[in-house]
Amino acid sequence: MIALDPSTKKRPEFINVRVRRQDAPGEAPYWELHKIKYEPEMNVISVLQRIAAQSTNRDGKKVTPVAWDCGCLEEVCGSCTMVINGRVRQSCSALVDRLLADNPDEVVLEPMSKFPVVRDLVVDRARLFQGLERVKAWVPVDSYYNMGSGERILREDQERNYPLSQCMSCGCCLEACPQYTKIELTQKPGETDQEFEARKQAAHSEAFVGPHAISQAMLFNNHPTGKSLAGERLDALEGPGGLASCGNAQNCVAVCPKEIPLTTSIARAGRATTLHAIKKWFDK
């Protein structure tokens, strides 16, 4: 059913898959080669499923199945982000026929490089979610009781906000962003889990918050009730790791699988923080 160019219609019998593996945090990564039978309409998820089921590498040696993260397989949950043939994307929508058209020899799978590796292709994206907390990405309603309908919202506003609200926290934009650099800490001897967690949080909250969080801040600043926290969100974006860290490389918007206008959000955030700073100066 997939429309293909005639040139890609020659199908190989087998596919070579090269996986960058790592057994645990801090351990040395290594490459492993797998050979699986080609089937029509495969995506990278089904490739990984075949690898798990056969659990031998290309030389026929028994190996542990490759660990990876996935969920809905429809490109909505954001779980299965990885670097495929050098490009960050969701593995569910990475169709093997297309990948082979670009590189007929092999499919190369690597974990994202900006997050600590948990194992193989699984990375720890806690920092990404912490970014949402930093900018208070929520509407501060009074209560969860029945208080009648919300404010009327113009279609124009809904249509401006809707794309931003499709952000699935997948992390593609962060992987592509030159200013978002990896933070990987290790627990010190004698340090409790809580102390270690606190130290991690502190490190995360100084570093660049990332385009996804800036865009979410703009989403809630444009909501009739959400904007009551607009000042606090802008304060967060003015602080360390905020907007000033953005180098305007525009990579984020290029890789976003949901085509969210991230750079437009960043530009809007820039104007809003400037106005906010002037206002604060006058209010002094």
Partner 1 sequence: MAQSNSPTRVVVVGGGLAGLASTMKLTELGAQVDLISLTPVKRSHSVCAQGGINSCNDATRQLGDDEWKHLDDTVYGGDFLNHQPPVKEMAYWAPKVIELMDRLGVPFNRTGEGFIDRRRFGGTLYKRTAFAGATTGQQLLYALDEQVRRQEAEGNVRKFEFWDFLGPIQDETGRCRGVVAQDMVSMEIKAFPADAVVVATGGCGLIYGRSTMSVFCTGSAASRCFQVGAKYANAEFIQVHPTAIPGADKLRLMSESARGEGGRVWVPRTPQDSRGPRDIPEADRYYFLEERYPEYGNLVPRDIATREIFDICVNEGLSVEDDRMCVYLDLTHIPRHELDRKLGGILEIYEKFQGVDPRDEPMKIFPAVHYSMGGLWADYVKGEDGGLEAGAPRNHMTSIDGLYAIGECDYHYHGANRLGANSLLSCIFTGLFTGSSIMNYSASQKSGADDVPQSLLDSAVKAEQDRHDHLLNGNAGSDENPYLIHQELGDLMTRVATVVRRNDQLEEAIKKVDELHERAMKVSLADTGSWTNQNVIFAKSLQDMFPLAKALLKGALQRDECRGAHFKPDFKKPSLTSEDPVERRRQAEAWCDEFEANNEKYLKSTVATWNASTNQPDLAYEDVDTTLIPPRPRLYGLVGAEAIEEVWNERAAKKLAQSKSGSGLVGAN
- Considering only residues 5 through 44, tell me which ones interact with partner 1, judged by CB under 8 A: 23-24, 39-43
The CB density around residue 186, as the number of other CB atoms within 10 Å, is 9
Instruction: Give CA 281 to chain center in angstroms.
Output: 36
Q: Which of 12, 26, 29, 65 binds partner 1 (CB under 8 A)?
A: 65
Q: Which of 8, 46, 187, 228 binds partner 1 (CB under 8 A)?
A: 46
Show contacts with partner 1 in window 143-182 (CB under 8 A): 143-150, 152-155, 158-159, 161-162, 165-166, 168-169
- Taking the C-alpha atoms of residue 200 and residue 198, their distance in angstroms, rounded to an integer, is 5
In the complex, minimum distance from the CB of residue 240 to partner 1, in angstroms, rounded to a whole number: 19
Query: What is the full DSSP assignment across 6-34?
Result: GGG-PPPSEEEEEEEE-SSTTSPPEEEEE
Contact between 76 and partner 1 by CB under 8 A: the answer reads yes
Task: For residue 134, give every residue at least 6 positions away whose Cβ sits within 8 Å of its Cβ, in sequence order, or none.
Answer: 205, 209, 213, 236
Contact between 244 and partner 1 by CB under 8 A: the answer reads no
**Do residues 252 and 173 lie in contact, with contact meaning Cβ atoms separated by under 8 Å?**
yes
Q: Which of 8, 38, 95, 235 binds partner 1 (CB under 8 A)?
A: 95
- Work out whether strand 106-110 and strand 14-21 pair parallel, antiparallel, or are unpaired: parallel
The CB density around residue 112, as the number of other CB atoms within 10 Å, is 22
Q: Please say which residue, 39 or 195, places its beta carbon nearer to partner 1.
A: 39
The CB density around residue 23, as the number of other CB atoms within 10 Å, is 14
- Taking the C-alpha atoms of residue 212 and residue 33, their distance in angstroms, rounded to an integer, is 34
# residues contacting partner 1 (CB under 8 A): 73
Q: Please say which residue, 112 or 246, places its beta carbon nearer to partner 1.
A: 112
**Do residues 201 and 126 lie in contact, with contact meaning Cβ atoms separated by under 8 Å?**
no
Site string for partner 1, 193-232 (x = CB under 8 A): ---------------------------x--x-xx------
Q: Which of 16, 63, 191, 261 binds partner 1 (CB under 8 A)?
A: 63
Q: Please say which residue, 136 or 276, places its beta carbon nearer to partner 1.
A: 136
Q: Which of 8, 75, 182, 207 binds partner 1 (CB under 8 A)?
A: 75
Q: Please say which residue, 178 or 224, places its beta carbon nearer to partner 1.
A: 224
